[in-house]
Amino acid sequence: MSRKPQVTRASAPGKVILFGEHAVVYGRPALAVPVTDVQAVATVDAGRSELGVTVYAHDIGRTIDVCQAEAEEPLSLTVRNTLSALSLRLEEVQLAVHVRSSIPIASGMGSGAAVATAIVRALSQHLGCPLDTGTVSSLVYETEQVYHGTPSGIDNTVVAFEQSVYFRRGDPIAILEVGQPFWVVIADSGVPSLTRQTVADVRSVWQRCPEAYERLFDEIGAVVDTARAAIEGGEVGSLGPLMNENQDLLRQLGVSSPMLEGLIEAAQRGGALGAKLSGGGVGGNIVAAVTEESADRVRGYLLDAEAAQVIVTRVEK
């Protein structure tokens, strides 16, 4: 029998939705890509005292005794579900899990999914039974349900597989083939985007006006399919106008805000090819399509517009 490592470390990237948020909850497609410039990291080592698992969430200053935590506490739930998948009980292990993340929280970049993914990977590897990526994604989806209520499944899919994806709920995962690398700029407004709440708000209006909202969802789905063809065909210059079109539809869904619109305008003044909100909306992030040459200028304009954080990333897989 191989000796278990004393310390095990695993990580997971952030993610950004390029096209299709909100409509993806209603069966339309969406495109999302991993953002490796930011990462969640989980480190597992021997517990300090009695049996069980203690999670140290250093960025938010929390220490969670999994044995004592509420069943729906997300990090505790992630640990419990991982041990269950390994046919282990809390009473059989004595571990400490340290979590750190550079992914902005509640900003639409998949922070919760990345932290959960890192925990599942680190725990299963430390215990000598690494889980396959599909199982990791399924376990993280259970955590996502606590965070977001009725998640589409896109966050756990992109983060766990670390691949750009064309995602439609209920369909097999379709890896997005990037025909030519392209650049995007992601700007965090600094205001939390409470995805659970915005998804619930859209659902409430959809229930009152189903025909109008189904039409908007269909139009968003058509933009997604056009963008997929452009990315796979290497026609990256058309992504900007498609982002602008998607943003107009998101405005009609009621999930934009003056703050996000200000960042979108700043990106366009800086030379972005197009821009839109990304994720739940109201707060959180915007994403802008840029060229390699214009990226720094767009970044500067967004910082001048008081974006809390700006990430420039190259999408190549």
Catalytic residues: 155
In sequence order, the 6+-apart residues with CB closer than 8 A to the CB of 130 are 121, 124
Q: How many CB atoms lie within 10 A of CB 65?
A: 12
Q: Which long-range contacts (CB under 8 A, 24 or more apart) does 257-261 make?
A: 257/281, 257/282, 257/283, 259/189, 259/191, 259/283, 260/189, 260/284, 260/286
Cα distance between residue 194 and residue 112, in whole Å: 12
Q: Residue 135: which H helix or E strand, with range?
A: helix 133-148
Instruction: Report the candidate in 144, 266, 150 with the shortest Cα–Cα distance to residue 201.
Output: 150
Helix axes 154-161, 111-126, angle to 10 degrees: 50
According to DSSP, the residues that pair with 98 across neighbouring strands are: 43, 56
Q: How far apart are CA 225 and CA 184, in angstroms?
A: 19
The answer to whether the beta carbons of residues 72 and 149 sit under 8 Å apart is no
Other CB atoms closer than 10 Å to residue 236's CB: what's the count?
Answer: 19
